Chains A and B, each alone.
Chain A
């Protein structure tokens, strides 16, 4: 089974703190994604990556950065956390590319609360 593992299920941070969310997948997928999920809204894409050291901005990249130094690991960084970044963060991976769409495999999610 494909497994996508997120390092922390629950985090509580203070405004201004730096936050690292780690995601690891074990199926050699090229594509990895970070979403945030808020009540009443669809999943919103923050950043994605199609290859090592490659990153692309999604719909809401402001206030976030990412790192993909190894194929299996995709990290989301909040340089200075703010209360409006309180959310559920979901990491996903896939083999999907142009002409060969495939399903997304999601991690369990990291619920971040910023006080």
Chain B
């Protein structure tokens, strides 16, 4: 079956760096998405990776290794507003999105 694994919850300190990992086993691969979802709000798009390597976008970076079935989202200079759930999703060979359960990130002062 298809599977996306990410930690359920992580805690980090304001100003620090945190890495949220995502591992996947899917039928084919056509890209990996990261979304951010604040409590009670809609998910919003953060990044899309289809080739191996690191994509940087301001304080957020996303890394992909297709051979390892692995991605991470790196958040630098953490701010309180970064407290949210981070959703990993993979586009499989049928162009269907397979979603992880999400990682709840708690930022402490």
CA distance A37 to B82 in the complex (A): 21
Interface size of A by CB at 8 A reads 19
Considering only CB atoms, which chain A residue lies closest to B41 in the complex? A108
Considering only CB atoms, which chain A residue lies closest to B95 in the complex? A98
Cβ of B86 under 8 Å from chain A: no
Interchain CB contact (< 8 A) of A106 among B8, B30, B42: B42
Q: Which of A38-46, A69-77, A78-86 contacts B (4 or more CB under 8 A)?
A: A38-46
Interface size of B by CB at 8 A reads 25
Interface centre among A44, A96, A98, A106 (most CB of B within 10 A): A106
A90 lies within 8 A of B41 (CB): no
Dominant SS among interface residues on chain A: loop
Cβ of A54 under 8 Å from chain B: no
Cβ of B96 under 8 Å from chain A: yes
Cβ of B101 under 8 Å from chain A: yes
Contact mask for chain A residues 96-115; partner B; CB cutoff 8 A; 1 contact, 0 none: 11100101111111000000
B31 lies within 8 A of A101 (CB): yes
B45 lies within 8 A of A104 (CB): yes
A42 lies within 8 A of B48 (CB): no
B98 lies within 8 A of A106 (CB): no
CA distance A96 to B45 in the complex (A): 13
Interface centre among B31, B35, B43, B95 (most CB of A within 10 A): B43
A103 lies within 8 A of B99 (CB): no
A98 to chain B: which residues have CB within 8 Å? 95
Interface residues of B in 12-43 (CB under 8 A from A): 30-31, 33, 35, 40-43
Q: Report B's interface with A, CB cutoff 8 A.
A: 4, 8, 30-31, 33, 35, 40-45, 48, 50, 87, 89, 91, 95-102
Q: Report A's interface with B, CB cutoff 8 A.
A: 4, 40-45, 90, 96-98, 101, 103-109
